[in-house]
A and B are shown apart, each in its own frame.
Chain A
Amino acid sequence: DGGITQSPKYLFRKEGQNVTLSCEQNLNHDAMYWYRQDPGQGLRLIYYSQIVNDFQKGDIAEGYSVSREKKESFPLTVTSAQKNPTAFYLCASSIDPLYEQFFGPGTRLTVL
């Protein structure tokens, strides 16, 4: 089955820690995205990548970092510089930036 997987489903972080969220896709899509979802707000773009070894900041990139070393993988690191990281994180991919995006199941990050 083709799709997008995210792990872990739930993640707990202590203050001052960096954590990495995994996103893998086997859809052969070129473009990948990370969004953050908070209650009562629309999805907000953190980072996106249109091709391997290249990525761009989205609207709320501060305190986050990414890498795109393989087409299938786009991990997101939430650093200690992110002041309010508790949220639901969604990874998405699309065959082309102009087409629809398909989402993974999400990772819920909670800061203890």
Chain B
Amino acid sequence: EDQVTQSPEALRLQEGESSSLNCSYTVSGLRGLFWYRQDPGKGPEFLFTLYSAGEEKEKERLKATLTKKESFLHITAPKPEDSATYLCAVRGGSEKLVFGKGTKLTVNP
């Protein structure tokens, strides 16, 4: 059974304090790992898709990386507007996405 575990559950940073969020997965035949951002009371917003180990993608202060067992979402010099819950999902042998429970990020000014 495909599984996704995100850590930590919650992370509190000061503005400008860089850090990383972790997404560990077990899947039979990875066919995509997806990162989303979700603000309270809203639908998830797509950020990145990664398909193979070693792949990296960047968008503004965010950088996603992928290994054979986990993905990291690196946040460089975060700002308060980066506060949100970040969701990770994987697609394995089936066509369904399996989501983690998310990491709630709070960036204090």
Contact = CB atoms under 8 A, between A and B. Distances in A.
Given A43-B99, A101-B97, A103-B45, 18 more contacts: A4-B43, A6-B43, A41-B101, A42-B4, A42-B87, A42-B98, A42-B99, A42-B100, A42-B101, A43-B97, A44-B99, A88-B41, A97-B95, A98-B31, A99-B32, A101-B46, A102-B46, A106-B41
Nearest to A105: B43
A95 interface: no
B44 A100 contact: no
Contacts of B89: 43
Interface in A75-112: 88, 90, 92, 97-106, 108
B99 A105 contact: no
B86 interface: no
Report which residue of B87, B95, B102 has the largest number of chain A beta carbons within 10 angstroms of its beta carbon. Answer: B95
Contacts, number: 54
Interface of A: 4, 6, 40-45, 48, 50, 58-59, 88, 90, 92, 97-106, 108
A103 B36 CA distance: 10
Interface of B: 4, 31-32, 34, 36, 41-46, 49, 87, 89, 91, 95-102
Contact of A105 (B42, B91, B100): B42
A10 to B, nearest CB: 10
A90 B38 CA distance: 12
Contacts of B36: 103
24 contacts: A40-B101, A41-B101, A42-B99, A43-B44, A43-B87, A43-B97, A43-B99, A45-B97, A58-B96, A88-B41, A90-B43, A92-B43, A97-B95, A98-B91, A98-B95, A99-B49, A100-B34, A101-B34, A101-B46, A101-B97, A103-B44, A105-B42, A105-B43, A106-B42
